[in-house]
A and B are shown apart, each in its own frame.
Chain A
Amino acid sequence: MDPLRRSPSPCSSSRPSSPSTPACEMFGPIGIEAVLGQLKIKAMKMGFEFNIMVVGQSGLGKSTMVNTLFKSKVWKSNPPGLGLPTPQTLQLHSVTHVIEEKGVKLKLTVTDTPGFGDQINNDNWDPILGYINEQYERYLQEEILITRRHHIPDTRVHCCVYFVPPTGHCLRPLDIEFLQRLCRTVNVVPVIARADSLTMEEREAFRHRIQKNLRTHCIDVYPQKCFDEDINDKILNSKLRDRIPFAVVGADREHLVNGRCVLGRKTKWGIIEVENMAHCEFPLLRDLLIRSHLQDLKDITHNVHYENYRVIRLNESHLLPRGPGWVNLDPASPGQLTSRRPFKVCRGAHDVSEDEF
């Protein structure tokens, strides 16, 4: 029995709740499809939330990539790490923005991890895993209250983009160790960062080797094979899985190429266009994260990763003695978070309050 079986998501209204219900014969159109319109109006009113985390060594272009993805200056001030000395310890830095496009509002939270992989001794990844678990904890706390809020703020990390340095050889021990731990708690999308240092052949060879490494170490990156629901999903996702990890280049400057204004990097020997599929695979990453799989990422986070966390926590609180982050689920005393974890999380100045949203 697969313990990670997905329960049907509350938003997937297009699939029947039980496949054994016989289809009913209709004599004429009723207007059921209007439900889709109603859902759309509701969704537009409520807006969407999306939380993304970027992990990787400094200088791999994480901040630039985020800016390029959302075509806005997500980091209002200088991105952390640029121009500043490398942080001595691993820190987490979150920034929240509300982006609007054609009436659709997206509350985007980006969490950066400056200091990851930069020290001499890098075996300290607890701050990152602790942060992810803390967001699950917060949601769990809200969920188990007797009087719950109308809309629980979702700060859980929906997707973690892992930046692999373009060495051209294979995954490093740090990458493997960390990815193994990450994949069990969150959706991970690995990308080859700064891919403009690799020629096309080097890229393909590197990609194949990374895929082999991921298979050898049983690292299940997004899109996970076991969550493909039907044949269409399988086909679409297999195409994606072939190309993962994407080789990306980030740029936030515009240049003139053949009369068009494109985002790119200008060098003495040519201009690297970010949105040109022949140059890099940034469009694939953007389509995956935003255009086609955003809702899927959120669904899997809610139905799989969060449920796993919840099961572990509920088991813990009944059977096992208290550990760090233990929460009293006894209704007599509402849950108190005892977080004794030594890391800092700084929320950006643009934290949008519940009422405004």
Chain B
Amino acid sequence: MSKQQPAQFINPETPGYVGFANLPNQVHRKSVKKGFEFTLMVVGESGLGKSTLINSLFLTDLYPERVIPGAAALNTRKTLIWEKIERTVQIEASTVEIEERGVKLRLTVVDTPGYGDAINCRDCFKTIISYIDEQFERYLHDESGLNRRHIVDNRVHCCFYFISPFGHGLKPLDVAFMKAIHNKVNIVPVIAKADTLTLKERERLKKRILDEIEEHNIKIYHLPDAESDEDEDFKEQTRLLKASIPFSVVGSNQLIEAKGKKVRGRLYPWGVVEVENPEHNDFLKLRTMLITHMQDLQEVTQDLHYENFRSERLKRGGRKVENEDMNKDQILLEKEAELRRMQEMIARMQAQMQLQLQGGDGDGGALGHHV
């Protein structure tokens, strides 16, 4: 009535409080609305249980056309490939939208069938490296474009490298591959089919692998240390995770009856291996690591690997390495063509001079000099 108070911004808190502590909530709301994108690449020889593990990790069937009773099913396309001896590595990207409690995750899994299967695996990883570079290239292109509103981030954020549990450590192919991509992508080494190893063998293999990784200076993804202001549980969890790298995992989507309850596992005549039992394998640890550090993986990809790629590319002045080689060849060809043209010109000039000389002689030797 008397005091018509204009709509004011009332300060609900104590004086001195500005209110930007509310920012994280805003970011949270926006991210939930936008959803998360994550690209995971799985690399390893066939038969190591990659597809089964991915399905177990995300509790989805990423490959619906494959009927998988355990790992025994055969993808008919694969048999066709295996008829040939020389095989090339294929890149298969499958995307799935997973939603949990309102949070959307757009997960892309990049599979690499054919890796390590040929007799001569020298060219195995060229396809993979060019795929990774291509994604970086596309992002760089989009980022430098005019309309930057809907950049789709297809860069590979994390690469699970599957190590065979049957060897005595890393194979030459493993070392060569990891050294080729450790500057481009976050590598998380994983020991597959861990149910073939006894506890002692597992410890021995993990130690061997870590020693070899250090020996060859391979940079794998390191979990960031817990901040000092985090609670003790989180710190302890991070410590445990760091101590278990590389994770030795078992994957399965079959439900087995064990000790009265249904668990996901593998049924053997001598016992049941439970996938989610931390005493049996490190599956839970792998899943925890992936979920709690998804953001960090994306950050490292953006800040380290992408920036590396970007500075390399811009230094080269916008020309790809293959183009440079091709340019060299082209330059050579052009130079050769030029040489030929000049030679022809010289030949023509010589012929002309010869004619002039003959003509001159016919004139009665007016031209008394030779050219």
Q: A173-B118, A202-B72 are in contact. Are A271 and B172 (CB under 8 A)?
A: no
- Determine if A267 and B271 form an interchain contact, defined as CB atoms under 8 angstroms apart: yes
Contacts of A198 in B (CB 8 A): 72
- Determine if B119 and A123 form an interchain contact, defined as CB atoms under 8 angstroms apart: yes
The yes or no answer to B196 lying at the interface (CB within 8 A) is yes
Which residues, 167 to 204 on A, are CB-close (under 8 Å) to B?
A: 167-170, 172-174, 176-177, 193-194, 196-202
Instruction: Give the distance to chain B from A315, nearest Cβ to Cβ, in Å.
Output: 30
Query: Which residue of chain A has its CB nearest to the CB of B48?
Result: A167
Query: Which residue of chain B has its CB nearest to the CB of A213?
Result: B82
The yes or no answer to A112 lying at the interface (CB within 8 A) is no
- Determine if A118 and B72 form an interchain contact, defined as CB atoms under 8 angstroms apart: no
Contacts of B87 in A (CB 8 A): 173
Instruction: Give the distance to chain B from A62, nearest Cβ to Cβ, in Å.
Output: 11
- Determine if A205 and B119 form an interchain contact, defined as CB atoms under 8 angstroms apart: no
Which residues, 248 to 274 on B, are CB-close (under 8 Å) to A?
A: 266-274
The segment out of B90-98, B162-170, B317-325 that lies at the interface is: B162-170
The interface bits of chain B over 92-131 (1 if a CB of A lies within 8 angstroms of the residue's CB, else 0) are 0000000000000000000000000111111010000000
Number of interface residues of A (CB under 8 A): 50
Contacts of A170 in B (CB 8 A): 74, 79, 82
Instruction: Give the distance to chain A from B242, nearest Cβ to Cβ, in Å.
Output: 23
Query: Which residue of chain A has its CB nearest to the CB of B192?
Result: A197
- Determine if A120 and B270 form an interchain contact, defined as CB atoms under 8 angstroms apart: no
The yes or no answer to A268 lying at the interface (CB within 8 A) is yes
The yes or no answer to B279 lying at the interface (CB within 8 A) is yes
Which of A199, A209, A272 touches B70 (beta carbons < 8 Å)? A199
The docked-state distance in angstroms from the alpha carbon of A357 to that of B176 is 49
- Determine if B166 and A165 form an interchain contact, defined as CB atoms under 8 angstroms apart: yes
Q: A173-B85, A202-B71, A270-B268 are in contact. Are A197 and B195 (CB under 8 A)?
A: yes
The docked-state distance in angstroms from the alpha carbon of A200 to that of B118 is 28
Query: Which residue of chain B has its CB nearest to the CB of A280?
Result: B269
Contacts between the two chains (Cβ within 8 Å), count: 128
The yes or no answer to A12 lying at the interface (CB within 8 A) is no
Name the prevailing secondary structure of the B interface residues.
Answer: loop
- Determine if B272 and A269 form an interchain contact, defined as CB atoms under 8 angstroms apart: yes
Number of interface residues of B (CB under 8 A): 49
Instruction: Give the distance to chain A from B164, nearest Cβ to Cβ, in Å.
Output: 7
Instruction: Give the distance to chain A from B145, nearest Cβ to Cβ, in Å.
Output: 40
Which of A59, A194, A209, A272 touches B168 (beta carbons < 8 Å)? A59
Instruction: Give the distance to chain B from A201, nearest Cβ to Cβ, in Å.
Output: 6
The docked-state distance in angstroms from the alpha carbon of A274 to that of B233 is 43
Which residues, 116 to 175 on A, are CB-close (under 8 Å) to B?
A: 118-123, 165-170, 172-174
Query: Which residue of chain B has its CB nearest to the CB of A267?
Result: B198
The interface bits of chain A over 44-67 (1 if a CB of B lies within 8 angstroms of the residue's CB, else 0) are 000000000000011110000000
- Determine if A165 and B119 form an interchain contact, defined as CB atoms under 8 angstroms apart: no
Contacts of A173 in B (CB 8 A): 82, 84-85, 87, 117-119
Query: Which residue of chain A has its CB nearest to the CB of B168?
Result: A59
Which of B46, B164, B173 touches A120 (beta carbons < 8 Å)? B173
The docked-state distance in angstroms from the alpha carbon of A174 to that of B69 is 26
Contacts of A120 in B (CB 8 A): 120-122, 124, 172-173, 176
Query: Which residue of chain A has its CB nearest to the CB of B205?
Result: A59
- Determine if B71 and A269 form an interchain contact, defined as CB atoms under 8 angstroms apart: no
Contacts of A58 in B (CB 8 A): 167-168
The docked-state distance in angstroms from the alpha carbon of A199 to that of B251 is 13
The docked-state distance in angstroms from the alpha carbon of A180 to that of B338 is 55
Instruction: Give the distance to chain B from A152, nearest Cβ to Cβ, in Å.
Output: 37
- Determine if B198 and A265 form an interchain contact, defined as CB atoms under 8 angstroms apart: yes
The yes or no answer to A278 lying at the interface (CB within 8 A) is yes
- Determine if A168 and B71 form an interchain contact, defined as CB atoms under 8 angstroms apart: yes
The yes or no answer to A308 lying at the interface (CB within 8 A) is no
Contacts of B150 in A (CB 8 A): none
The yes or no answer to A81 lying at the interface (CB within 8 A) is yes
Contacts of B72 in A (CB 8 A): 168, 198, 201-202, 205-206
Instruction: Give the distance to chain B from A207, nearest Cβ to Cβ, in Å.
Output: 11
Contacts of B133 in A (CB 8 A): none
- Determine if B47 and A166 form an interchain contact, defined as CB atoms under 8 angstroms apart: yes
The docked-state distance in angstroms from the alpha carbon of A194 to that of B176 is 26
- Determine if A121 and B122 form an interchain contact, defined as CB atoms under 8 angstroms apart: yes
Which of A84, A123, A169, A269 touches B74 (beta carbons < 8 Å)? A169
Contacts of B193 in A (CB 8 A): 197
Contacts of B82 in A (CB 8 A): 170, 172-173
The docked-state distance in angstroms from the alpha carbon of A168 to that of B266 is 14
Instruction: Give the distance to chain A from B156, nearest Cβ to Cβ, in Å.
Output: 23
Q: A82-B168, A120-B124 are in contact. List 12 more A-B contacts (CB 8 A).
A: A121-B120, A121-B122, A167-B45, A167-B48, A168-B47, A169-B47, A172-B117, A194-B196, A199-B267, A200-B269, A202-B72, A269-B274
Supply 17 A–B pairs (Cβ within 8 Å), ascending by A.
A58-B168, A60-B166, A118-B172, A120-B176, A170-B82, A173-B117, A194-B196, A197-B165, A197-B195, A199-B267, A201-B72, A205-B74, A206-B72, A209-B74, A272-B268, A273-B270, A279-B270
A residues engaging B (CB < 8 A)? 57-60, 81-86, 118-123, 165-170, 172-174, 176-177, 193-194, 196-202, 205-206, 209, 265-273, 278-279
